[in-house]
Amino acid sequence: MLFYDCSTAPNPRRARMFIAEKGLQIETRDISIAKGEQMSEAFRKVNPRATIPVLVTDEGTVLTENLGIAAYLEARVPEPPLMGRTPDEKGLVLMWNAIVEQQGGAPIADALRNTHPAFKDRAIPGLQNHAQIPELAERGIARVGAFFDLLEERLQDSPFIAGDAFSLADISTFVFVDFARVIKMRIPEGNTATRAWFDSVQARPSASA
């Protein structure tokens, strides 16, 4: 297998943590988004949509989305399970993973990419250029605040995001919460359940991968 990573971006980090939790050692090539390497002719031969992460399987299949990469690795290396064991657990993991992508990852990206000078005319990843829209950044900040409230409510009732076991949903949530620092947002001081959960995930070796 061959993994295309970017050490500074959140979505590749999600895949990197998943790989680490599986105990896998996969050949890795770092693609610098800051240098625009994802737009290079060489990389676009791997992924024409110019996004990262990418996993090329031993069979030569090119997987370009976190969920696809996770599903492939879960099927190939079932232990430890990161996408549930029972039908209910599998459904909850994917449900919560989608919730945190939509309610956490997306608004953080909106807030960052619609304000930071590095993303001028690059407000959306991929081949096409898109102008920044400041109003989307403002909405993103408000939505991230609501996301922190959502997490606190959930984690007061559940030890992990999707239930009783650490899963893909925790990886996604952890990476997004940590990355929110780039828009100067942190877990609110009173959100003690979220803070305890975050600290426990941060202590896992995969968080430093």
pLDDT in tens, the chain (209 residues): 999 999 999 999 999 999 999 999 999 999 999 899 999 999 999 999 999 999 999 999 999 999 999 999 999 999 999 999 999 999 999 999 999 999 999 999 999 888 866 777 776 776 778 777 878 889 999 999 999 999 999 999 999 999 999 999 999 999 999 999 999 999 999 999 999 999 999 999 999 99
Nearest CA among 165, 177, 163 for reference residue 207: 177
Q: Which residue type does 161 have? A: I
Q: Is the dihedral of CA 144, 33, 136, 69 positive or negative?
A: negative
- Enter the pTM of the model: 0.93
* Phi, psi at 103, each rounded to 5°: -95, -15
DSSP-assigned letters across all residues of 40-108: SHHHHHH-TT--S-EEE-TT--EE-SHHHHHHHHHHH--SS-SS-SSHHHHHHHHHHHHHHIIIIIHHH
Q: Which residue type does 89 have? A: E
